Structure 1
């Protein structure tokens, strides 16, 4: 399912909001799927139906930009490795875990630095890790998960510098793509995903008021 996010454009992000590993036979998770729901929902569920480990799932609409999926999955393969990662440590994983569209997983942890170093040291060799920030935990600080990626910040900076958000608009997606050295469709995709993240951040802030 993570590869599904990488391969298509309609679904822009997936958040693992909650999980339950208490049963040794299966894992239950609650995900929020966000993006162009009208275009991507059926495609996402079709891909979910092909996942061999998924025993059952239930979908709950939120609005036209996201929906929840409650999943019961057999504790095998990646699910079992995720169970081991999240339970065999003194660290606390702070929800949500974000599945990114470049194959990455973004999440925050709370705990001692030694435990974090031990976790990183014991990860499989095929996984690479980047620690974005070390600081005192603050429950009221915006989660790192909602931050833009480096590439998205670059795209946003170029768009703003060239007047893409001015009225009237001073540049085009083609000109932004030329500045970034990528195709027009890639630049448009980056802009859509960047804007979707900023909208999600606004919605999260509004919900806290």
Structure 2
């Protein structure tokens, strides 16, 4: 079994896969976005995202996407929001998701949309299934493998290596707003 970090890109042709993929990868009003969880049923895809950007512009754009069956947006401050989007799938999107939903592979969140239009995520599972999934990715998408490892390379494993005191420091920093933009606390408070 392997943990593989991959990056996919459609080189500006994301709309050929699905209009929402194009929106997340290329919209000028989305500064940063991550898919936190998703569920693919074959005929529909539900994804919970967290995004930093213009929520009003996002809502206007998503309302014009015919494949969007439903969405629910919750603002998180002035320039960030959570949004659940449920989409009809396209044939190309089905081809992209089938290899990671038909076997024993697990996609490890978050799925990060990058500024260059690429999407980065991790997959864990049997070596042969990972290889088959990478080989089955449809055109126009390219796959780049960024790293290969075992379970210890996944994000939750890193968290478990922190001491209780380190975890408490992080919890306190979050509560005080140290990681907010703009920062609401510093190292003294």
User: Which residue in 1 is equivalent to 2:116?
Assistant: 102
- The alpha-carbon deviation at position 73 of structure 1 amounts to 1.3
Name the structure where helix makes up a greater proportion of residues.
1
Q: Distance in 1 between matches of 2:50 and 2:121?
A: 15
Q: Does 1:93 align with 2:110?
A: no
Sort the Cα spacing of 1:122 and 1:81 in 2 relative to 1 into closer, same or farther, 3 A: closer
- 47-56 vs 81-90, which deviates more? 81-90
Structure 1 residue matching 2:59: 3-state secondary structure: helix
Q: Distance in 1 between matches of 2:139 and 2:91?
A: 17
Q: Distance in 1 between matches of 2:65 and 2:157?
A: 36
- The alpha-carbon deviation at position 54 of structure 1 amounts to 0.2
Structure 2 residue matching 1:93: 3-state secondary structure: strand
Select 1:32's aligned residue among 50, 54, 57: 50
Structure 1: runs of 5 or more not aligned: 143-198, 204-209
Q: Does 1:76 align with 2:95?
A: no
Q: Which has the higher contact order (CA 8 A, sep 6+)?
A: 2
Select 2:36's aligned residue among 17, 35, 42: 17
Q: Distance in 1 between matches of 2:150 and 2:43?
A: 36
- The alpha-carbon deviation at position 43 of structure 1 amounts to 1.2
Cα pair 1:5 1:12 within 8 Å, conserved: no
Normalising by structure 1, what TM-score? 0.57
After superposition, the CA RMSD in angstroms is 2.6
Select 2:148's aligned residue among 125, 134, 137: 134
- The alpha-carbon deviation at position 2 of structure 1 amounts to 3.7
> When the two structures are aligned, how many residues end up with a matched partner?
140
Select 2:58's aligned residue among 24, 44, 48: 44
Name the structure where strand makes up a greater proportion of residues.
2
Structure 2: runs of 5 or more not aligned: 1-19, 160-178, 184-189
Structure 1 residue matching 2:151: 3-state secondary structure: coil
- The alpha-carbon deviation at position 104 of structure 1 amounts to 0.9
Cα pair 2:100 2:133 within 8 Å, conserved: no
